[in-house]
Structure 1
Amino acid sequence: MKFLLKLLTWWNGPTIGTELFTWRFGKRVGEDAAGNVYYQNADGSRRWVIFKGEPEASEISAEWHGWLHFTWQQPPTEAPLPRQAWEKPHRPNMTGTALAYRPPGSLLAPAGGPRVHADYDAWTPQ
């Protein structure tokens, strides 16, 4: 069953084709804090990531995202980006989870939905 999942699906980890391609042509470049492993081919014209666990693109930090998309040539393992004191650590997209951002006035915010003011009259059809 596991072989069939690896053969036909990409959301359960790398497919057989990706694993074979990585084994044959991939040069390991580095690993991020989440455990994702980054590769490139011999001439550096192709770059890819093998996710640890479920593939979620928002888990890739800005440093590695820039390298994957050829924004800069050196990977963060060789030339780390300068960090500012005010920068927060990278977090993946939390939409759909209990940790999602809910602004004031949102129906899902802990304080409840927007309050109705006394000068408001609800519209009713005639």
Structure 2
Amino acid sequence: MKAFLLQFFTWWNRQTLGTRFYTWRFGKEVGRDEFGNVYYEGGLNSDGMTRRWVIYSGYSEASSIPPGWHGWIHHRDDTPPPDENYKPREWQKPHQPNLTGSPAAYRPLGSLLGSRHRPQVTGDYDAWTPGS
């Protein structure tokens, strides 16, 4: 019952009722990734291309889609990763989750939350003044 209510009242938790109905009606499962996300295709989008979508295993977080699936879902590749003909490109890195808000997040030099200090100003900058 709780899962039904979550789908009815939230869009960020797996799927909504509308997505569930559309998936049931038109969706054909293409595959699953190592995080439990399920990928579908079916019907046509406004450009006349096959519609592709993902049902997340937990919260709807776009950064949880691995590189191979990202290319497929955005129509960059026609071959989904579970297909035997799929070959990842040499520049594709292993998936990393979005680290924003975590202790491992990027913090530039001089950030209040960073541990490194910003370099001293060298004096090679002239500030702009109006009318000059």
TM-score exceeds 0.5:
yes
| 1:30 has 2:36 as partner | no
What secondary structure sits across from 1:46 in the alignment? strand
User: Counterparts in 2 of 1:1-126, with a 5 A limit?
Assistant: 2=2, 3-41=4-42, 45-78=50-83, 79-82=85-88, 84=90, 88-109=93-114, 111-114=115-118
Q: Secondary structure at the residue paired with 1:47?
A: strand
**8 Å contact kept, 2:39–2:53:** yes
- CA shift, 1:65, in A, is 1.0
Closer, same or farther: CA 104–87 of 1 in aligned 2, 3 Å:
farther
Go from structure 1 to structure 2 and tell me whether the alpha carbon gap of 1:4 and 1:87 turns closer, same or farther (over 3 Å shift). Answer: closer
2:88 counterpart letter in structure 1: P
String of CA shifts for 1:55-101, please: whole Å, max 9, x gaps.
100111221111111111111111333354x8642102211112212
Q: How many angstroms apart in 1 are the aligned matches of 2:32 and 2:75?
A: 17
Structure 1 residue runs of 5 or longer lacking an equivalent are 118-126
* SS of residue in 2 equivalent to 1:29: strand
Checking the alignment, whether the CA contact within 8 Å between 1:107 and 1:114 is kept in structure 2 is no
TM-score normalized by structure 2? 0.72
Check conservation: 1:107, 1:113, Cα contact below 8 A.
no
Residue type matched to 1:114 in 2? Answer: R
Q: Which runs of 4+ in 1 moved over 2 A?
A: 1-5, 79-84, 102-107, 111-117
The separation in 2 between residues aligned to 1:40 and 1:29, in whole angstroms, is 7
Q: Tell me how large the CA RMSD over aligned residues is.
A: 2.6
Structure 2: segments with no counterpart, 5+ residues: 122-132
Instruction: Please give the secondary structure, in 1, of the residue aligned with 2:30.
Output: strand
8 Å Cα contact 2:42-2:52 kept in structure 1: yes
Q: CA deviation at 1:21?
A: 1.5
Paired residues of 2:31 and 2:38 also in contact (CA < 8 A)? yes
Count of equivalent residues: 116
